[in-house]
Chains A and B, each alone.
Chain A
Amino acid sequence: MSKKPPEPVRPRGLFTEPEPRSAVMTRGALKKWARRDFLLFGAGAAAAAMGFWWLLPDGAADNDLPRGAIDALDTTAARLGLTKDRRERFLNRSLTFDDDVAEALYSRDRSVRTYSKSDVTPLRNNYNGATPRADSLADWKLKVSGLASGKTELFSLEDLNSRFPLHEQVTRLICVEGWSAVAWWGGLRFADFLAAYPPAPGAKWAGIESGVNLDIDGNSDPYYVSIDLETARHRQTLLATQFNGKPLPLEHGAPLRLLVPMKLGLKNIKAITEIEYSAEQPDDYWAKRGYSKYDGL
């Protein structure tokens, strides 16, 4: 029997670096091992590269790769069944996964951070198209349907101001693009409005529309969002009528806009003309253009 050399003393501790584990292997066995691992590595790298190519939008690499390489990659992706259709479904799923995570984190009892009036920062006119003209709002009325009464109600701005208490809050409006602004708002609580004019039983959603919204050329382009009624009933969700202590200016959604500071700016619809309660989730203007329908902050 051969004598084993004494084991080296290894410092064992949570934080002490031990002597490395070592072994003696034959050159042939090591070469085989290395070959296997390098093949695995190569296969993994090729799969990752292909997946990456599939996820990138068409034209993303036009500045970086020669035409021939782009065509070859496209052909390979198509042969593997990595179609554009599948990409869209896959990426939409990653969006709804993120929304599910957000919904799990969310609590309706949590308040959005409020600021003092001295923290207010400039808020730009972020109408995606032209700003609605004053004359289009001259005989403005808010139309509300899907009510428990079964009726369609019309409200003037005076109706809303006189029947509901005014609440003020200074909160941050955060745009999906990444910019944000602290602004001072005033208006009625959506919760008070829902209590006074309850939706039909079974309603879970409010579909809110701005029929006066315009596209960039000034043509009619109605804007619409969906809000779940639980979010609508949050105490910081306002139907805002005031900005900086004055009536809402046109660029910020005169005469009435939604203020949901727990949702991205794109849910904070301006120049509301209609609210309809429903059991099924209504459409969202930007969701049709590839954005989330949830948009929770």
Chain B
Amino acid sequence: MAARADTLRGSGGPGAGVRIVFQHHALVRLTHWLNVPLLAGMIVSGLAIYWAAPVFEHAANPNTGSTDYLADLSVWIVRHVPGAAGYPRPTSWIYDHFSIGPGQLALALRLHWFFAYLFMANGLLYLIGLLAGGGYKALLPRRADLKQALAMQRYYLGVIPAKLLRRPWPHPVVTTKYNALQRAAYFVIPLCAALAVLSGWAMHKPVPLHWLERLFVNYNGARAVHFLMMVVLAAFVIPHVILVFADGWDTFRSMITGWSTRTRESRHE
């Protein structure tokens, strides 16, 4: 969208005035970026722990010897993804590439606790930043969200064909910091992270936290939720990064500097 051009790069000398809006509290920016190494650490150690006794398992497959679904997915990848073809240990392709490796349980546990405490501390700092800057107000769901979410989906589905056909394809009018889809994502993802932490504690200390274990039905319930929340958090990164690229430099910069040159007026022309 032409209206989203970066005004810092427009015409005018270094003394020219530029209007900026403050987008993200410093703590929100810091904790946002810390999530990258912390989540990566949780996942590479967590998958190595999961390898020791997968919760999603089945009877041994006579062809591959696999007893768990993640190993099945590994085998599928080795069979169908060109770069992985011919991998000597097909059942452990995912564990070999996305974890610190099979047979590393003792180290994986120590790494997992280290990253887990930092991840929890980071989550608390994030909440403090959201409260201090009032940023949480932009994340709360509201009544018109469903309608706007549908409009945004329609927009995203059509934006590439429309561009190819050189047809006008206006962005739905958004008068708030985030559109309804962003709001839903940024509201739900922290909840998923909280659920990952809670299910982690439920399986880590099921004796003192027996009520928490019950909340996930039983021990394996907590394990299943913990694994699925990892999948949700990892999967969220993909559209998140694509959409930031699509949205442009200003959006990326605002998560580092805190401000945006996109004022409400320049946004929706």
Binding site for B on A (CB under 8 A): 14-28, 30-31, 33-34, 37-38, 41, 44-45, 48-49, 51-52, 55-57, 59-60, 63-64, 90-92, 94-95, 97-98, 102, 105-107, 110, 112-113, 172, 174-180, 261-262, 286, 289-292, 296-297
Contacting pair A37 B257 (CB below 8 A): yes
Q: Which of chain A's residues have a CB closer than 8 A to the CB of B109?
A: 95, 176, 291-292
For the complex, what is the distance from the CA of A172 to the CA of B101, rounded to whole Å? 28
Q: Do B101 and A57 touch (CB < 8 A)?
A: yes
Known contacts A34-B253, A56-B44, A297 near B205 by CB under 8 Å: yes
Residue of B nearest to A42 (CB): B256
Give the residue name and chain of the A residue nearest to B223 (CB): A178
B64 interface contact, C-beta 8 A: no
Whether A177 pairs with B53 at a CB distance below 8 angstroms is: yes
Cβ of B167 < 8 Å from any Cβ of A? no
Q: Which of B12-20, B121-129, B185-193, B235-243 contacts A (4 or more CB under 8 A)?
A: B12-20
Separation of A27 and B137 alpha carbons in the complex (Å): 30
Nearest B residue to A31 via CB reads B8
A178-B23 in contact (CB<8A)? no
Q: Scan B132-162; emit 1 where CB is below 8 A from any A CB, else 0.
A: 0010011010000000000000000000000
B27 at the interface (CB under 8 A from A): no
Q: Is the CB of A110 within 8 A of B207?
A: yes
Ordered by A's residue number, 28 sampled pairs between the chains whose C-beta atoms are within 8 Å are A14-B137, A18-B134, A18-B137, A26-B16, A28-B15, A30-B8, A31-B8, A31-B14, A33-B257, A34-B253, A34-B256, A37-B256, A38-B257, A52-B41, A55-B111, A55-B114, A60-B100, A91-B114, A98-B117, A102-B205, A110-B210, A113-B210, A174-B206, A174-B219, A176-B105, A180-B219, A180-B220, A292-B109
Say which residue of A30, A38, A98 sits within 8 Å of B256 (CB atoms): A38
Cβ A23 vs Cβ B20 within 8 A: yes
Q: Which residues of A contact B69 (CB under 8 A)?
A: none
The answer to whether residues A177 and B101 also contact, given A21-B21, A113-B210 and a CB cut-off of 8 A, is no
A60 contacts B101, C-beta separation under 8 Å: yes
Are B111 and A91 within 8 A (Cβ)? yes
Interface: B40 (CB within 8 A): yes
The reply to whether B134 and A105 form a contact with Cβ atoms under 8 Å apart is no
4 closest A-B pairs by CB? A290-B106, A28-B14, A94-B114, A177-B52
Q: Contact at B97–A64, with CB atoms within 8 Å? A: yes
With known contacts A91-B107, A95-B110, A176-B109, A27–B16 Cβ distance under 8 A: yes
Known interface pairs A24-B17, A94-B113, A94-B114; 14 further A-B residue pairs with C-beta atoms within 8 A, sorted by A's residue number: A14-B137, A17-B137, A17-B176, A34-B253, A52-B37, A55-B41, A55-B111, A57-B100, A57-B101, A95-B110, A174-B219, A177-B53, A178-B50, A290-B106
A290 touches B107 (CB 8 A): yes
Query: Which residue from A23, A60, A107 sits with its C-beta under 8 Å from B208?
Result: A107
Taking a contact as CB atoms under 8 Å apart, the answer to whether B18 and A97 are in contact is no
B22 contacts across to A, CB distance below 8 A = 20-23
- Could you tell me the distance in whole angstroms from the C-beta of B195 to the nearest C-beta in chain A? 18
B23, A20: Cβ atoms under 8 Å?
yes
- Other-chain residue from A17, A59, A175 in contact with B101 (beta carbon distance below 8 A): A59
Please measure, in the bound complex, the distance between the C-alpha atom of A261 and the C-alpha atom of B14, giving whole angstroms.
69
- The reply on B245 being an interface residue by CB < 8 A is no
Q: Is the CB of B18 within 8 A of A24?
A: yes
A27 close to B8 (CB less than 8 A): yes
